[in-house]
């Protein structure tokens, strides 16, 4: 019986990839593990192996086409087997990853291979693969299973290495179509330059449209007295080596992570009739790239990671982001995001939520500012504005207000951050 | 130390002769073991060597053979009773299970039953549905009875000598297909301990667990797989009771995959038992389902081609391995 070749998960948050080329053709005999296609995503170029040997009966898609994660991209049968004519000629790009009854929101790629939501960790994996992944601290959701039905087996864990990240700009394949209203005729002539939209730009465009159209944002802003925070930072940095010195942003990340512990509803992702409450707190940090565009690096378990460790890891990840050397692990799994435009002398701003997260904290610059002191006279304070954007489907104003107030308290009494 | 290539029937015969020479309480009994020289020629020449008192031809009644042997053992002798083929052991199962296996326990240790029942086993000779059984696992079901199932001439000799010397009743089965297959056997005496498995081949990719004739298929399959770069480890259990699974667990922790190879039937089988114990003992080491290669779950057909289809073979082992080595 023919077996379906499924478009694999190519990284969290990525729900499709561009087919660069098929490395095998219909009629070829393949063994389990043979690569049949190269797929480019905005994060990496990945090879797609087959999980079973046999004869390739069908390949769906032409180079340049976008293939959805979880879709059937081909059929493989016993040697000599022919494709059954009755089979729907499932086009990889057309067949949805989710069941027809699923909500219209995008399902994270990791969920696409799951057949049964009751599986431990949501993935099919052999017991020894689970044990080894746990020992090595590898998140099973990042591993592509090559066993039957996409099961993660021992060799998948042994062979797993973070995939190299391809340059974000200048893709050779056409960008995915953005489902926005038409743009009209392209202006031409000597006064304009036509630039192909980079894959990352397309991706950002697509995600931001999705976020703005589908996520009902509300925004709350507070002013934080950062005098104690800056003193605290100076004190601890005096004791830390260069690699571990803590930035204001690291302190905000820590405060947000600790506040999320008290407000687990904001560490929850919206999937229509299901809410996914994340038990671990991974803070995405938006990083502007020198080549344009931005990417989120992820401070894993920020609530229970030492501040100096967060600082060191963030420094390394941000450096890798700017050198285009990110590892998949650097950019996967964020449950809530912090965006900091403080270094750009911005007073305050309202950030767009990174779906399916429930919120994002926007950080402005710390500034000397006139303030009314307790005795009613005027004085000089050091203040920083924090805004939070919240998905109103998940949370409401009162909770959002208490959440941002908690962050403010944590930052104003910074000893609680260590 | 010199050694000779000896077929299994000769190795078994040598074991009988050595033990009868060593201990005069050892005697053989069974249908045609004496003047006919043994249906499978294992007892050839014994009547001439040891006389009628120690080489007893019996009536054609398996219940009598087993029952008399139990009585002789309880009375202090060490009978080695031959049941011509294990198919006929069903007739003597009351004496074997309810008497031989239970007497020591039921009488609070007052009696020992140092008995060996030898029986030829196996199929593939167009003996059809009633005369092709390999019911070793049925006998291994009952506590109190040891079950020995050698896979080659060398093991057969060492195991039979041990079985004769042991104070517990032992059902000792001999694969008909292996009688003429030789092993190198040393001139010096050796014994193979009760309840000790043996790794017959080292490998890192899959563990094949078997006994008796299944070991031959497993080794053949391992050689075929090696040509494709798959190294199979073959564990020969040798005794179904006492069952020594430690080498299987050790091997599985290395290979993470297992195929159980059995000549007998799949339903409530040897393979089921190994799979059950293995998943319990080494769950965290499992990388694929445990596969079984067994005879097909049918009364064995007579026609040669269909009979062979119903039987396990090396190719079926290779196919099963490839299903789980991915």
Percent of chain A with pLDDT over 90: 41
Percent of chain B with pLDDT over 90: 97
Q: Which residues of B touch A127 (CB under 8 A)?
A: 283-287
For tokens 């009633």, name the residue.
B130
* Phi, psi (degrees; rounded to nearest 5) at B200: -90, -15
Output the pLDDT for position B7: 97
Mean of per-residue pLDDT scores for chain A: 81
Q: Which residues of B touch A51 (CB under 8 A)?
A: 326
Average pLDDT over residues A298-322: 93
pLDDT band at A43 (very low <50, low <70, confident <90, very high): low
Tell whether the model's pLDDT for residue A102 goes beyond 60.
no
Task: Give the tens place of pLDDT for each residue, A318-341.
Answer: 998 888 777 778 888 999 999 999
Output the pLDDT for position A206: 84
Interface contact flag, A128 B326, Cβ < 8 Å: no
Residue A347: exposed, middle, or buried by beta-carbon count in 10 A (0-12, 13-18, 19+)?
middle
Task: Give the tens place of pLDDT for each residue, A110-136.
Answer: 333 444 456 777 788 999 999 998 888
Taking the C-alpha atoms of residue B192 and residue B149, their distance in angstroms, rounded to an integer, is: 12
A376 in Cβ contact with A197 (< 8 Å): no
Interface contact flag, B326 A127, Cβ < 8 Å: no
A127 at B interface, C-beta within 8 A: yes
| Torsion of the alpha carbons at A120, A124, A125 and A126, rounded to the nearest 10 | 100
Interface contact flag, A154 B326, Cβ < 8 Å: no
Whether B131 sits among the annotated catalytic residues: the reply is yes
Taking the C-alpha atoms of residue A407 and residue B95, their distance in angstroms, rounded to an integer, is: 82
Output the pLDDT for position B151: 98
Under DSSP, the state recorded for A256 is: H
B115 in Cβ contact with B169 (< 8 Å): yes
| Topology alike, domains B3-186 and B198-324 | yes
Task: Give the tens place of pLDDT for each residue, B101-115.
Answer: 999 999 999 999 999
Going A210 to A213 to A218 to A222, the CA torsion angle's sign is: positive
Please tell me the distance in Å from A150's CA to the nearest CA on chain B.
Answer: 11
A58 at B interface, C-beta within 8 A: no
Tell whether the model's pLDDT for residue A70 goes beyond 80.
no
Find the closest chain A residue to B288 by CA distance: A126
- Where, residue-wise, is CATH 3.30.559.10 in chain A? 200-417
Return the structure tokens found at A227: 């005098």
Find the closest chain A residue to B256 by CA distance: A128
Output the pLDDT for position B116: 98
For tokens 């291979």, name the residue.
A113
Tell whether the model's pLDDT for residue A174 goes beyond 70.
no
Output the pLDDT for position A331: 86
Output the pLDDT for position A86: 35
Output the pLDDT for position A181: 44
A126 at B interface, C-beta within 8 A: yes
A146 at B interface, C-beta within 8 A: yes
pLDDT band at A64 (very low <50, low <70, confident <90, very high): confident
Output the pLDDT for position B39: 93
pLDDT band at A200 (very low <50, low <70, confident <90, very high): confident
Output the pLDDT for position A110: 38
Find the closest chain B residue to A157 by CA distance: B287
Average pLDDT over residues B189-213: 97
Residue A16: exposed, middle, or buried by beta-carbon count in 10 A (0-12, 13-18, 19+)?
buried
- Among A124, A154, A156, the strongest candidate for a mutation testing the B interface, having the largest count of B CBs within 10 A, is A154
Radius of gyration of chain B (CA): 20
Angle, alpha carbons A207-A210-A211 (nearest 5°): 85
Output the pLDDT for position A48: 78
Tell whether the model's pLDDT for residue B125 goes beyond 90.
no
Interface contact flag, B287 A32, Cβ < 8 Å: no
Q: Which residues of B touch A32 (CB under 8 A)?
A: 326
- Among B287, B323, B324, the strongest candidate for a mutation testing the A interface, having the largest count of A CBs within 10 A, is B287
CATH classification number, A200-417, choose in 3.40.50.300, 2.60.40.420, 3.30.559.10, 3.30.465.10 = 3.30.559.10
Taking the C-alpha atoms of residue A340 and residue A364, their distance in angstroms, rounded to an integer, is: 6
- Which fold would CATH assign to domain B198-324? Rossmann fold (3.40.50)
Output the pLDDT for position A40: 74
A51 at B interface, C-beta within 8 A: yes
- What's the CATH number for B3-186? 3.40.50.970
- Residue ranges of the domains in chain B? 3-186, 198-324
- Where, residue-wise, is CATH 2.40.50.100 in chain A? 3-159
Find the closest chain B residue to A53 by CA distance: B326
Please tell me the distance in Å from B308's CA to the nearest CA on chain A.
Answer: 24
Please name which of A385, A380, A338 lies closest in space to residue A365, comparing C-alpha atoms: A385
Mean of per-residue pLDDT scores for chain B: 96
Going B171 to B176 to B178 to B184, the CA torsion angle's sign is: positive
Tell whether the model's pLDDT for residue B76 goes beyond 50.
yes
Output the pLDDT for position A175: 39
By residue count, chain B amounts to 326
Is 0.90 topped by the overall pTM? no
Lowest-confidence pick of A31-35, A119-123, A271-275 = A119-123
Architecture of domain A3-159: Beta Barrel (2.40)
Q: Is A80 left (phi over 0), alpha (psi -120 to 50) or beta?
A: left
Output the pLDDT for position A42: 67
- Among B251, B275, B284, B326, the strongest candidate for a mutation testing the A interface, having the largest count of A CBs within 10 A, is B326
Output the pLDDT for position A162: 66
Query: Which has the higher per-residue pLDDT, A296 or B166?
Result: B166
Write out the residues of chain B at the interface with chain A, using a CB-CB cutoff of 8 A. Answer: 256, 283-288, 326
DSSP B194-221: TT--EEEE--SSEEEEE-THHHHHHHHH
Interface contact flag, B287 A131, Cβ < 8 Å: no
Q: Which residues of A are catalytic?
A: 392
Task: Give the tens place of pLDDT for each residue, B269-285.
Answer: 999 999 999 999 999 99
CB contacts < 8 A, A to B, total 31
Please name which of A275, A272, A270 lies closest in space to residue A102, comparing C-alpha atoms: A272
Q: Which residues of A touch B326 (CB under 8 A)?
A: 32-33, 51-52, 146-148, 153
Under DSSP, the state recorded for A326 is: -
Interface contact flag, B287 A52, Cβ < 8 Å: no
SS3 B290: coil
Output the pLDDT for position A81: 63
pLDDT band at A1 (very low <50, low <70, confident <90, very high): low
Tally of CA atoms within 13 A in the half-sphere of B280 that contains its CB = 8
Q: How far out from the chain centre does Cα A313 lie?
A: 17
Burial A278-291 (b: 16+ CB within 10 A, else e): beebbbbbbbbeee
Contacts with B, A 18-37, CB within 8 Å? 32-33
Interface contact flag, B326 A129, Cβ < 8 Å: no
Tell whether the model's pLDDT for residue A92 goes beyond 50.
no
Q: Which of B10, B62, B216, B263 is catalytic?
A: B62
Q: How far out from the chain centre does Cα A168 lie?
A: 15
Q: Which of B18, B32, B131, B231 is catalytic?
A: B131
Output the pLDDT for position A13: 61
Q: Which residues of A touch B285 (CB under 8 A)?
A: 127-128, 131
Please tell me the distance in Å from A130's CA to the nearest CA on chain B.
Answer: 8
């Amino acid at each position: 019986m023919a077996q379906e070749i499924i478009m694999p998960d190519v990284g969290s948050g990525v729900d499709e990839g561009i087919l660069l080329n098929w490395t095998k053709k219909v009629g070829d005999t393949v063994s389990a593990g043979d690569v049949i296609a190269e797929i480019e995503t905005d994060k990496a170029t990945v090879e797609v192996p087959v999980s079973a040997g046999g004869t390739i009966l069908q390949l769906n898609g032409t180079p340049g086409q976008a293939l959805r994660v979880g879709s059937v991209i081909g059929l493989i049968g016993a040697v000599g087997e022919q494709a059954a004519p009755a089979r729907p000629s499932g086009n990889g790009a057309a067949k949805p990853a989710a069941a027809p009854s699923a909500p219209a929101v995008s399902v994270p790629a990791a969920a696409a291979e799951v057949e049964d939501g009751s599986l431990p960790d949501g993935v099919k994996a052999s017991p020894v693969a689970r044990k080894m992944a746990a020992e090595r601290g590898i998140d099973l959701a990042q591993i592509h299973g090559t066993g039957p039905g996409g099961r993660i087996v021992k060799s998948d864990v042994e062979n797993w290495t973070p995939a190299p990240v391809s340059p974000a700009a200048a893709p050779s394949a056409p960008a995915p179509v953005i489902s926005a209203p038409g743009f009209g005729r392209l202006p031409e002539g000597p006064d304009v330059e036509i630039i192909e939209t980079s894959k990352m730009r397309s991706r950002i465009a697509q995600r931001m449209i999705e976020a703005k159209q589908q996520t009902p944002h509300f925004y709350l802003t507070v002013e934080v007295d950062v005098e104690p925070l800056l003193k605290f930072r100076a004190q601890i940095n005096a004791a830390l080596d260069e690699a571990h010195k803590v930035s204001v942003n690291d302190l905000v990340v820590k405060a947000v992570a600790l506040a999320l512990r008290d407000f687990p509803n904001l560490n929850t992702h919206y999937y229509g009739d299901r809410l996914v409450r994340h038990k671990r707190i991974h803070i995405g940090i938006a990083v502007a790239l020198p080549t344009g565009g931005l990417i989120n690096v992820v401070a894993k378990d920020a609530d229970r990671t030492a501040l100096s460790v967060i600082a060191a890891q963030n420094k390394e990840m941000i450096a890798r982001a700017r050198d285009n050397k990110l590892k998949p692990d650097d950019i996967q799994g964020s449950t809530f995001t912090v965006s900091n435009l403080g270094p750009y002398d911005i007073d305050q701003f309202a950030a767009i939520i990174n779906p399916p997260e429930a919120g994002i904290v926007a950080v402005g610059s710390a500034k000397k500012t006139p303030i009314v002191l307790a005795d009613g006279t005027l004085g000089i304070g050091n203040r920083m504005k924090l805004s939070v954007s919240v998905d109103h489907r998940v949370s409401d104003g009162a909770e959002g207000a208490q959440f941002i107030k908690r962050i403010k308290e944590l930052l104003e009494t910074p000893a609680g951050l260590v | 130390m010199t050694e000779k290539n000896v077929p299994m029937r000769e190795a078994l015969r040598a074991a009988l002769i050595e033990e009868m020479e060593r201990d005069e309480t050892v005697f053989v009994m069974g249908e045609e073991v004496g003047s006919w020289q043994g249906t499978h020629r294992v007892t050839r020449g014994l009547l001439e060597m040891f006389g009628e008192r120690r080489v007893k031809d019996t009536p054609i009644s398996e219940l009598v053979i087993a029952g008399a042997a139990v009585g002789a053992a309880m009375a202090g002798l060490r009978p080695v009773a031959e049941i011509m083929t294990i198919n006929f052991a069903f007739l003597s199962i009351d004496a074997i299970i309810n008497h031989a296996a239970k007497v020591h326990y039921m009488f609070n240790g007052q009696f020992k039953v140092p008995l060996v029942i030898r029986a030829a086993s196996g199929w593939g000779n167009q003996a059809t549905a009633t005369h092709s059984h390999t019911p070793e696992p049925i006998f291994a079901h009952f506590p109190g009875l040891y079950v020995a199932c050698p896979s080659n001439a060398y093991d057969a000799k060492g195991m039979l000598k041990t079985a004769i010397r042991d104070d517990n009743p032992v059902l000792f089965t001999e694969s008909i297909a292996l009688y003429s297959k030789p092993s190198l056997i040393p001139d010096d005496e050796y014994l193979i301990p009760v309840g000790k498995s043996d790794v017959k081949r080292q490998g890192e990719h899959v563990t094949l667990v078997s006994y008796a004739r299944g070991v031959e298929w497993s080794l053949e399959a391992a050689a075929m797989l090696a040509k494709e770069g798959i190294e199979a480890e073959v564990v020969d259990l040798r005794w179904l009771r006492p069952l020594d699974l430690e080498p299987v667990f050790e091997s599985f922790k290395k290979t993470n995959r297992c195929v159980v190879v059995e000549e007998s039937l799949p339903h409530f089988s040897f393979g089921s038992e190994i799979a059950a114990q293995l998943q319990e003992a080494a769950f965290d080491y499992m990388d694929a389902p445990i596969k079984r290669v067994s005879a097909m779950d049918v009364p064995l057909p007579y026609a040669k081609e269909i009979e062979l289809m119903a039987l396990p073979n090396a190719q079926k082992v290779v196919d099963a391995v490839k299903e789980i080595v991915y």
